[in-house]
């Protein structure tokens, strides 16, 4: 269910590190809790954030979820396909439903995140 090469946050987000870039998304658990996603609001390319800043929101019919970045850095790409097809977040949360790519400023921040195994038991306890 949860890719082994990803890292996970307590906010039910995932991070995939590709050299100095971190791809962010929400987890299967998070999309399942939200239900069908109808709006995704993402930051602008070029915006800079500190770790734990809110960078966007995901709205389903019945709820809204804030998206936080686990790392400090600059947004270098956002998933533009989500504005026309927000349900990608439901269909493929760990793949095509990715949200943003951040240029990592301090790699050390990633050390606090959970492994897939740790996250799986964390999510099981959140249900």
Task: Give the interface with other proteins as residue ranges (CB under 8 A).
Answer: 32, 35-36, 38-39, 41, 57, 59-62, 64
Which helix H or strand E contains 25, and what residues bound it? strand 21-26
| Minimum separation from the CB atom of position 84 to other proteins (A) | 13
For other proteins, which is the closer residue by CB, 36 or 117?
36
Taking the least distance from each CB to other proteins, the nearer of 4 and 61 is: 61
Q: Which two tokens stand for residue 120?
A: 């799986």
Instruction: Give the shortest CB-37-to-other proteins separation in angstroms.
Output: 10
Distance CA 83, CA 97 (A): 11
The three-class DSSP label of residue 4 is coil
Minimum CB distance to other proteins smaller for 26 or for 42: 42
Nearest approach, Cβ of 91 to other proteins (angstroms)?
12
């Amino acid at each position: 269910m949860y890719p082994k090469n990803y890292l996970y946050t307590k906010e039910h987000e995932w991070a995939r590190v590709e050299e100095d870039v971190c791809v962010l998304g929400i987890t299967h658990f998070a999309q399942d809790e939200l239900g069908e996603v109808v709006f995704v609001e993402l930051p602008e390319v070029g915006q800079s954030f500190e770790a734990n800043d809110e960078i966007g929101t995901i709205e389903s019919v019945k709820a809204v979820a804030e998206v936080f970045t686990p790392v400090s850095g600059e947004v270098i790409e956002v998933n533009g396909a989500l504005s026309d097809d927000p349900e990608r977040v439901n269909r493929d949360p760990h793949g095509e439903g990715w949200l943003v790519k951040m240029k990592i400023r301090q790699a050390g921040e990633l050390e606090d995140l959970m492994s897939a195994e740790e996250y799986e038991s964390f999510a099981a306890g959140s249900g």
